[in-house]
Amino acid sequence: MPVQIEQLRIVQYPNPVLRVKAQPITEVTDEVRRVALRMLEMMHEAPGVGLAAPQVGLSWQIFVANPTREPEDDQVFINPVLTRPARETVPQDEGCLSLPGVNAPIYRPRSITIEATDLDGAKFTMTSGDLAARVWQHEYDHLEGILIIDRMAEIDRIANKRTLKDLEQAYKQK
């Protein structure tokens, strides 16, 4: 069934699609390209620095990212694979467009390499030790059905408990 691009919206926790492991994209089609472009628009509108397909209700292995928020730095990652994580992990506050109001320090490897396919179907590899590395790891987690609430310390889960309950209640009322 074709994707209704204009109907894509950012889904919020606890929508079940956020917990499903995304499926690989077998071919970079015009539909995949249109979805990616719409995801970039939504990411900028939100505003955010990354957005994964499960966050718009699609269980596809694709995410978009732009840690600088400069339009020329928009990137699309299809069927990404993360490799060579740094041994050192560092905490940094993270939020999520699908978990509005939920923030916590999340420990992640300081640097990482990503291999993916672009919108032209070409494979590429990048390595970063900057914010890009964190964004890639966060968005990749979405493709695995993992949320920041799964990675936060117990004390941070307790601190965010009320917000999570509110999100759960709002979802039930839809």
Tell me if the pTM is above 0.75. Answer: yes
How far is C-alpha 156 from the chain's CA centre?
A: 20
Please indicate whether residue 27 is annotated as part of the active site: no
* Confidence band, pLDDT 50/70/90 cuts, at residue 174: confident
The residue from 6, 31, 41, 139 that is catalytic is 139
CATH topology of domain 5-172: Peptide Deformylase (3.90.45)
pLDDT at 49 over 80: yes
* Confidence band, pLDDT 50/70/90 cuts, at residue 155: very high
Under 8 Å between Cβ of 99 and 12: yes
| H or E segment and range at residue 75 | strand 75-83
C-alpha distance from residue 63 to each of 121, 165, 171 (Å): 15, 27, 24
CB atoms < 10 A from the CB of 6, how many? Answer: 7
Q: What is the pLDDT of residue 125?
A: 98
Which residue matches tokens 């990503």?
114
pLDDT at 167 over 90: yes
Q: Which residues pair with 81 in a beta bridge?
A: 115
Which residue matches tokens 């995410």?
63
Contacts of 152 (CB under 8 A, 6+ apart): 104, 105, 106, 160
In whole angstroms, what is the distance from residue 162 CA to residue 43 CA? 26
pLDDT at 120 over 80: yes
